[in-house]
């Protein structure tokens, strides 16, 4: 009779095999994830370095740099390729001001007047200069008007003829600006320096219109009294410089500009 084989005892540690397999797979998963993460960091670092290098060489606009650096503000600067080295190193510095230039026609007219009125300029009868408003011809009272009067002196007509020829050759608007010194005036004809300075400007306009046929539509008058001095009012010489009528051939964009008071600065 065959002996019955006894059943094998149950192995209670078989779960260790499955657990070991699970741990092995889990370890492999984290190894793969870690390797992938490191690769992404390296790639991101490489991309960042290449973008930064491109920005430093001006191949992208500063708008891209702003988005990469902050991501919250709109770029408002010019492209880096158009910025100077100083602007890139010091972005808060104000932009350089363009050099002041004058229209070539006005500069040529200044040269013409300087040559044609050489003796009058040397004798101090008038003064010529270019400033941001245009070409300014300062006609001193002693040559063009009697003291306290607004009638243009007949002896000044040869000078005015040369000035009018230049005005006729240009299309620029003309301003005639009367000025006085600081001493008050009160006569039967003029109650104040305002009236005297304005009357002299008007008299000069009427002469240029009637004698030299310069259209009145090109001209305007202004009276400043003593409020825009060219020199000091503390000396007789300075006051003589301040008593004048300025003929201003206006440059483009300067039609509303007003003369600057020089105060005690002598010209």
Q: What is the per-residue pLDDT for 105?
A: 78
In this prediction, residue 110 has a pLDDT band, given cuts at 50, 70 and 90, of confident
Burial class (CB in 10 A: 0-12, 13-18, 19+), 95: exposed
Tokens 């192995």 sit on residue: 11
CATH architecture entry for 104-250: 2-Layer Sandwich (3.30)
Q: What is the predicted pLDDT for the residue at 50?
A: 60
Q: Residue 85: pLDDT above 60?
A: no
- At residue 109, the pLDDT reads 83
If residue 148 lies in a helix (H) or strand (E), which one and from where to where? none
Q: Output 234 or 83, whichever has higher pLDDT.
A: 234
Residue 244 parent element (H or E): strand 244-250
When mean pLDDT is compared over 16-30, 102-116, 131-145, the highest value belongs to: 131-145
pTM, 2 dp = 0.58
Angle, vertex CA 26, rays to CA 25 and CA 29, nearest 5: 85
Mean pLDDT rounded to a whole number for the chain: 78
pLDDT (average), residues 153-167: 94
Number of Cβ atoms within 10 Å of the Cβ of 31? 10
Q: pLDDT by residue (tens digit) across 197-219? A: 999 999 999 999 999 999 999 99
Domain extents in the chain: 17-89, 104-250
Q: Helical H runs in 117-253?
A: 118-122, 141-144, 157-169, 193-212, 236-242
């Amino acid at each position: 009779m065959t002996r019955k084989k006894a059943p094998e005892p149950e192995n209670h540690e078989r779960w260790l095999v499955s657990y070991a397999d699970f741990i092995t797979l889990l370890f492999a998963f984290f190894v793969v994830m870690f390797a992938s993460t490191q690769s992404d960091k390296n790639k991101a670092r490489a991309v960042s370095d290449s973008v930064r290098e491109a920005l430093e060489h001006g191949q992208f606009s500063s708008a891209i740099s702003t988005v990469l650096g902050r991501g919250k503000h709109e770029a408002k600067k010019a492209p880096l390729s158009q910025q100077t080295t100083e602007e890139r190193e010091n972005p808060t510095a104000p932009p350089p001001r363009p050099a002041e230039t004058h229209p070539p026609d006005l500069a040529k007219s200044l040269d013409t007047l300087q040559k044609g009125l050489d003796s009058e300029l040397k004798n101090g009868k008038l003064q010529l200069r270019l400033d941001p408003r245009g070409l300014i011809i300062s006609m001193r009272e002693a040559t063009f008007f009697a003291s306290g009067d607004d009638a243009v002196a007949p002896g000044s007509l040869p000078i005015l003829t040369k000035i009018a020829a230049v005005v006729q050759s240009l299309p620029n608007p003309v301003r005639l600006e009367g000025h006085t010194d600081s001493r008050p005036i009160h006569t039967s004809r003029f109650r104040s320096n305002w009236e005297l300075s304005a009357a002299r400007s008007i008299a000069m306009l009427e002469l240029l219109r009637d004698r030299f046929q310069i259209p009145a539509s090109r001209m305007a008058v202004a009276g400043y009294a003593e409020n825009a001095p060219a020199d000091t009012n503390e000396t007789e010489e300075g006051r003589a410089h301040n008593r004048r009528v300025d003929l201003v051939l206006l440059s483009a964009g300067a039609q509303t500009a007003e003369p600057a008071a020089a105060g005690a600065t002598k010209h």
